[in-house]
Structure 1
C-alpha cells in the first residue's frame, strides 16, 4: 500500500515489538550485495522535512537507490516517480533505524523523489544523457526479455480473474447478502494481493482499492475492500454500501485497462517481489491488514505467491548470473509456503488469524525474514 499515513508503519513496528517479532533492515553488507554492478549509487535520506537525495542528478543507466530513515517519525517511504506520476521504484515501511535499496535502469528525463507526509514532499531528480546497452550474455538477455514478457501476461491474467471475483463480492454487497459477501471477500482480494506492487504504481488507484481506515485523512472518503470489510464484520450492516461497491468495480476495471498497456524491466520484477515480502512483514504478520475479518493469511499467501511468480520468471537468467542465489531464494520461497500449510483448511481457506499465537507468528516472521534478505539482492543482479 503506497502513500500511508505515518501512524500505520509506526503502529506496525510497535505491534511487532510487542509480539517479540523483528523486521530487519539492510546492513551495510546487505546494501552492498543489493547494489547493481557498475550502477550509480544514489542515497536518499528520509527526514521529516523532506528526502535528501545525493546526488540529485545522474547519467542514464543502471542506478541503485539506498534509502535510509535515521530518525524521521512522520515519513516512512520514498518513491521515484516518472513524469507521468507512475511509481518506478520505492522503499516503504522504513521506520527509524531501517534502510533498504532498489535498483533500476533509468532513461534520461525528469523524475520526482516523493516522500509522503514530509514537510516538503517532492523534489526533482534528473537523469541525463543516454545509457549504453548493458554488456550481457545474449542468453541472459533473452531470458530477461522472456521474464518481463511473461510477467506482463501473468499480471494481465490475474487482473482478469480479479474483475469477476470482485463483482461476485460486490454483487453480494449490493444484495445485502452478508454471509455471501463475507465468503467472497478473501478470494477476490487474493488476486489483487498477488499483483499489488503493480497496482501501487498507478498513483491513487491502490489507496482507492485497498486503503485501511488509518490510510485516509477523511473517513467519509474511505473506499475499497477494507471499507466493505468493516461493514461486513465490524458494523454487520451493508446499509449505504452500494456506492462503495460500485466504485470498487470501477477502480478494478481501471486497473485492468492500465495493466494491459504496462511494460516492465527485470529489476521491477525483483523489486516488486521484495515489496510483496515487505507487505507480509509490515501488515500481514501483524494482523493489521484484515483487522475485521482476520483473513490475513490468505493475503499472506497471495503476496508470497505473487513474489514467487515474479522471481521464478527471473530464475533462468539468474541461474546464469548467480546460480547459488537462485537456488537459495527458490528454497526460501518453498520454506515460507510450507510454513503456511498448517494454517490452511483447504485451497484458499485459512484459520482465523486472531487464533494464531505470538510464538506461531514469530516462526512465520523468521521464515519471511530468511527469504527477504537474499531476495533483496536479485534486482541488482538483473540490472547490471
Structure 2
C-alpha cells in the first residue's frame, strides 16, 4: 500500500496495520527481546547524520530491527521503506531511548528512512525469498478468526465514526458552540479506537488528527484538533466550515479504505501496542486534547481498541503462551479499573483537574500493560 513519506510526524506513535506481511513488535520501554525465533538482528543507530543499518544486507525471513537514538536531536524515528510503502517503524525515540520492530521480509531492495537527518535514506537489501512459517492447525484457525474478526470490528467502528463526526461538524457549520463541544469527544472516541489503521494510509491521519505542533504551515492545519482549538481556545467558529467539510471528506475516505483492508495476526498485536504508545505519549501527558481536556475519553478509546485486538488474538495466544495471555489480560483489567474514578456521567472529568500524582499512577498502569503486550506479536507470528 503506498504510504506518503513526505510529512515527518513529531513524536506521535503510529501503527502500520494494513501492509501485507508486516510483523512489528516492541515499544521503547520494553525490557524483553520479543523478536521472533530465528530472526536476524539489524542495528540502527539514530544520529543527526543518518541511520545506517548494520548489517546492510540480510537473508529473507524474520528480521528484528533494534533502533537506538545515540545522539540525535533532530531525528526521533526510523522507518523501513519498500518504495513509498512504510513496512515498519519505531518512533518517539529521544536521545538514549531504544526500541525494536520485527518483520518477515521477502527478498528485494529496501531503504531505512530517518526523517530530518542529514542523510535521510540508506539502502537495505534482503536476499532470497521467505517461506511461509509452519503453524499448528488449531492456532492457525484461531488466528484466521482473529484477523477476520478485526476487519469486521474496524469496519463497524468507522461506520459509527462517520455519523458521529457529521453530528459534530454539522454543529460547527451551524455555529452552535455548545452542541459542537458536546459531540467532540464521542466522535473522536470511534477514531481513537482504530487510529493505527488510519495511520497506515499516508497523510490521512495527519489530516484528521494532527495537533498544532505536528504541522509546519498553520494555514494547512485541518481535522479534529483544529476545530477543538476554535471551540475551546479561540471561542469562535468563524471560518471553520471548510475545515468541517474536509474532516467529513477525510472520514468518508477512511471508510472507503478500511472496507477492503485485510490484516495479519501480528499486525493486530502491533496495533494494540501502538495504541498503548499513544496513551503514554500523548493522552497521559495531556498533550492530545490540550484545549478541551477530554484526554481520558481518548485514553479509554485507545485501550478499548487495543483490548479488542488482544481479545481476538487471545484464543491463539492461549495455545502458544498461556502465561503471557493471562498477564496481558490481567493488566488490561488493571488499566481500565484505574480509569473508573474519573468517570463523570457518560464521559470523564476535565483532565486538567487530574493532578500529577494521579497521572503517574495511570502511567504506571499503562507501562505495566505495554511491556507484556509488546511480546504478543512474536508469539502469533508462527
- TM-based fold match above 0.5: yes
SS of structure 1 residue aligned to 2:269:
helix
Query: Structure 1 residue 24: deviation in Å?
Result: 6.3
User: 1:367: which partner in 2?
Assistant: 365
1:305–1:88 Cα change, 3 Å: farther
1:232–1:318 Cα change, 3 Å: same
User: 2:29: which partner in 1?
Assistant: 25
**Structure 1 vs Structure 2 CA RMSD:** 1.8
Query: Structure 1 residue 167: deviation in Å?
Result: 0.8
Cα displacement string for residues 148-205 of structure 1 (whole angstroms, at most 9, x for unaligned residues): 1111111111111111111111111111111111111110011111111111111111
Matches within 5 A, 1:12-161: 25-27=29-31, 30=32, 32=33, 34-83=34-83, 85-161=84-160
Query: Structure 1 residue 133: deviation in Å?
Result: 2.0
After alignment, is 337-346 or 37-46 more displaced?
Answer: 37-46
| Alpha-carbon distance in structure 2 between the residues aligned to 1:157 and 1:124 | 40
Structure 1 runs not aligned, ≥5 long: 10-22
User: 1:337: which partner in 2?
Assistant: 336
1:374–1:119 Cα change, 3 Å: same
Cα displacement string for residues 98-151 of structure 1 (whole angstroms, at most 9, x for unaligned residues): 111222322334333322222222333333322122121111111112211111
Residue 5, structure 1, aligned to residue 10, structure 2? yes
After alignment, is 68-77 or 366-375 more displaced?
Answer: 68-77
Matches within 5 A, 1:238-317: 238-317=237-316
Higher helix share: 1
* Structure 1 outlier segments of 4+, above 6 Å: none
SS of structure 2 residue aligned to 1:96:
coil
User: 1:214: which partner in 2?
Assistant: 213
Structure 2 runs not aligned, ≥5 long: 1-6, 14-26
Cα displacement string for residues 207-243 of structure 1 (whole angstroms, at most 9, x for unaligned residues): 1111111111111111111000000000000000011
User: 2:348: which partner in 1?
Assistant: 350
User: Could you tell me whether the CA contact under 8 Å between 2:164 and 2:186 is conserved in 1?
Assistant: yes
Query: Structure 1 residue 75: deviation in Å?
Result: 1.4
| Alpha-carbon distance in structure 2 between the residues aligned to 1:153 and 1:3 | 31
User: 1:172: which partner in 2?
Assistant: 171
| Alpha-carbon distance in structure 1 between the residues aligned to 2:332 and 2:197 | 20
Query: Structure 1 residue 26: deviation in Å?
Result: 3.4
With normalisation by structure 2, the TM-score equals 0.91
| Alpha-carbon distance in structure 2 between the residues aligned to 1:144 and 1:24 | 26
With normalisation by structure 1, the TM-score equals 0.90
1:58–1:157 Cα change, 3 Å: farther
Count residues in correspondence: 363
| Alpha-carbon distance in structure 2 between the residues aligned to 1:239 and 1:124 | 48
1:311–1:188 Cα change, 3 Å: same
